[in-house]
Amino acid sequence: MIAITRYRVPSEEADGFAARMDAVLAALSASPGFRSGRLARTVDDPALWALVTEWDGAGYYRRALGAYEVRLEFVPLAAMAVDEPGAYEVVSAVPPVPES
Q: What is the pLDDT of residues 59-92, one digit of tens each?
A: 999 999 999 999 999 999 988 999 999 999 999 9
Residue 35 resides in a domain: yes
State the pLDDT at residue 95. Answer: 86
Instruction: Annotate 58-70 with DSSP letters as a single string.
Output: HHHHHHHHHSHHH
Q: How does residue 15 score in pLDDT terms, banded at 50, 70 and 90? A: confident
Q: Band of the pLDDT at 42, cuts 50, 70, 90? A: very high
Q: What pLDDT does 1 receive? A: 96
In a domain, 93, yes or no: no
Q: What is the pLDDT of residue 60?
A: 96
CATH number of residue 51's parent domain = 3.30.70.100
* DSSP structure class, residue 96: P
Identify whether 60 is part of a domain.
Answer: yes
Say how many domains are in the chain: 1
In a domain, 11, yes or no: yes
The whole domain housing 79 covers 2-88
The secondary structure of residue 46, as a DSSP letter, is T
